[in-house]
Structures are given as structure tokens and as C-alpha cells.
Amino acid sequence: MTAVRLVILGRQGSGKGTQASRLVEAYDTVHISTGDMLRAAVGAETELGLQARVVMDAGELVGDDLINGIVAERLAQDDVAEHGFLLDGYPRTPDQASALEGFLAEAGTPMDAAVNLDVPVDEVTARMVARGRADDTAEAIRRRLDLYESETAPLLAWFAERGLLEVVDGLGAEDDVFTRLTTAIDRRLSVGDAS
């Protein structure tokens, strides 16, 4: 099987985590999440990981330069070279997406697709309220979704301008959503193989 290079996007409560786990298994690829990457870099005490630790210990957000560097380090590892990746939580901005595009161009391995799992705001809100987590108050959910919308709209436009965006309906049974995702991804992979 060809190594896939994918980004998965979706609102909180869209089922993105569940579907990402299934996609990683189906495509024998490496699931890379921003949080896991940061923890691994800090734990391994890489130069960038040590810099990130200082920022995180101060309670600040890790800036683009650091996170882009950590992503570049992770993408250069052998398992990713062999199996590709499914990025979750990165990129979050068009600037980060441009950096990712640059890393992949240097490696001669262009991205296959960015898949946006589309679930309406009212549905993800209902799902998050039903989870019953303490931080899932209606106000907190609204703030997180507003932030996601303002951050993600320019990112979706960035991927669309490059012909990389696949929007997949995230409503319905888990298996049905998974089938729609794999159909969209397989269509992308067959186009890539034909060129």
C-alpha cells in the first residue's frame, strides 16, 4: 500500500478522534497529533523539545516556529517515511500549512489530502453536552466552536485553493462516516497514482 499523507480536520465533537484511529489502521499510517508530538519532543529532550518545555512551563502557547520545527523533526522519522501520516491538530493556520507544504516539498512527498469531517454546530454542541464533561458548559462549547470557526475558515480556504480539501459529511452511523472518508481518500490516492 502507498504511504498516505493526510490532514484530518473537524470541529470538536465531530467524531474526528474516532475516525482518525480507524483511518490509521485502515491505511497502515502513523497518527501524529500536536499534543503527542510536543510531549514526545519534550520527553526526548530534543533541542526544540527543550525550547518548547520552557514555553509550556511558563503557561504560554508554543509558537509557530517551534511547532513547525517539531513537526518537521517528526515527519523526518523513519516510520513516517515508510508509512506516511495522518496529522491531527496541525496545521491550525495557513502559515503552518505553508510550512508543512515546504517540509513535504523538500522531502519530495506532497500531501494527498486534507479531510474536513463536517458536522453542523448544533449537532456537535449536542454531542459535547451529552458527554457530560465539566468543561463542556454551553458557554464554553460556544467559545471553543467560535474560535475553531475563526481559525479554521482561512485554513480550509488554503487547502481548497490548492485542490487538497475533501469535505466529508460527518453525520450518521460511525461506519457510514468511515465509508465516506475512505471513499474520498481512495479517490484522491487513485488520482495521485494515475499522475
165, 19 in Cβ contact below 8 A?
no
Q: Which of 133, 143, 162, 187 is catalytic?
A: 133
Is 143 catalytic? The answer is no
Which residues, listed in sequence order, are joined to residue 165 by a DSSP beta bridge? 114
CATH number for the domain running over 4-31+84-194: 3.40.50.300
Residue 61's pLDDT is what? 74
What is the value of pTM for the model shown?
A: 0.86
Q: Which of 22, 39, 53, 144 is catalytic?
A: 144
d(CA 104, CA 46): 21
d(CA 78, CA 62): 25
What average pLDDT is seen over the chain? 90
d(CA 83, CA 115): 18
Residue 186's pLDDT is what? 95
pLDDT digits (tens, 9 = 90+) for 105-154: 999 999 999 999 999 999 998 988 888 877 778 888 888 888 888 888 99
d(CA 10, CA 22): 15
Residue 193's pLDDT is what? 58
Average pLDDT score over residue span 51-56: 85
Residue with cell 526544540: 48
Is 180 catalytic? The answer is no
Average pLDDT score over residue span 20-42: 91
Is 188 catalytic? The answer is no
Is 131 catalytic? The answer is no
